[in-house]
Amino acid sequence: MEALQAEFDAARDDTAIRVVVLAAAGKQFSAGHDLKEMTAHRSDSDGGRAFFEQTFARCSRLMQSIVDWPKPVIAEVDGIATAAGCQLVASCDLAIASEQARFGVNGIDVGLFCSTPAVALTRVVSRKLAMEMLLTGEMIDAETALEFGLVNRVVPREALTQAVAEYAQAIAAKSPSAVKLGKGAVRNQAAMSLADAYEHTSRVMVENMLSADAAEGIRAFLEKRQPNWREE
C-alpha cells in the first residue's frame, strides 16, 4: 500500500501520464490484507490495535487517493480480487476483467465484516447486491460482476491487456483538462442533492466551455480535423 501510494503521489502532477492502469504482477489481482501479518500483531502489547488502526488508515487513504486522483485509473483484473482487493477494483474509475476473474468481500467467513470495502462497493453496485456479497461472503464470477456493475467489460484472458490498452489509449487521446475537470465534477456531485449537483456541474460546464481545449476541440470538429490539446 505504501509503494502504491508513493507511485500515485509521484505521478499526480506528471503531465506525461494521462491514465494509470493497475494490474497484478502475479496470478491474482489482490487477495486483500495479509491475515497472517494481521494475526501476528495480536501478540503486541496493545493486542494489535495500533497496527490495525495504522493499516486501515493507510488503506483508506490509498482508496480515497484513487477516487480523488485527477486522472482516470483503470483496474486490469485477472484472478481473484477479494476483500481490500475488491475494494481496490471498486475504487477505480474503470475495471476490465478477464473471464477467470473472481470477486468477493468474504471477510465475514473469518468473522470480519468487510466494512471498509463496503464503502467503495456500495458506491458502484446497488446496496442490496453489495449486502448480498458482504453478508454471504460468496465469490462472484466476472460475468456476475459485470451484471452487478462492478466491472465495465469481461474479455478472454489472452485479450485482457489489449482491451485495457484500448481503453487507456482512447482516454489518453482526449483533452487532459476536460478529463480532469470531468472526473472531479462526477466525484463532487455524487454527494450533493439533485439541485446542488446541477448547480455545481453547470458551473463546471461554464468553466469547461471557457477553456482553451474546448475552443480548440469545437473548432477542430467544425473544421473536420483532429484537435491539438494543450498539455496540463
So where are the chain's domains? Answer: 2-172, 176-222
pLDDT of amino acid 93:
98
What fold is seen in the domain 2-172?
A: 2-enoyl-CoA Hydratase; Chain A, domain 1 (3.90.226)
- Rounded Cα gap, residues 55 and 37, in angstroms: 11
- Rounded Cα gap, residues 188 and 131, in angstroms: 25
Percentage of the chain beyond pLDDT 70 is 99
Instruction: Look at 86 and 13; give whichever has higher pLDDT.
Output: 86
- Rounded Cα gap, residues 129 and 90, in angstroms: 14
Which pLDDT band, with edges at 50, 70 and 90, does 230 fall under? confident
Average pLDDT over residues 1-25: 93
- Whether residue 190 has pLDDT greater than 70: yes
pLDDT of amino acid 232:
61
Average predicted confidence (pLDDT) for the chain:
95
> What is the per-residue pLDDT across 95-122, written as a single tens digit (0 to 9) for each?
999 999 999 999 999 999 999 999 999 9
> What is the per-residue pLDDT across 42-75, written as a single tens digit (0 to 9) for each?
999 999 999 999 999 999 999 999 999 999 999 9
- Whether residue 231 has pLDDT greater than 80: no
Nearest residue to 16 (alpha-carbon basis) of 164, 217, 172: 172
Across the strands, what pairs with 104?
A: 82
Percentage of the chain beyond pLDDT 90 is 96
- Whether residue 8 has pLDDT greater than 90: yes
- Whether residue 28 has pLDDT greater than 90: yes
Domain 176-222 falls under CATH 2.60.40 = no
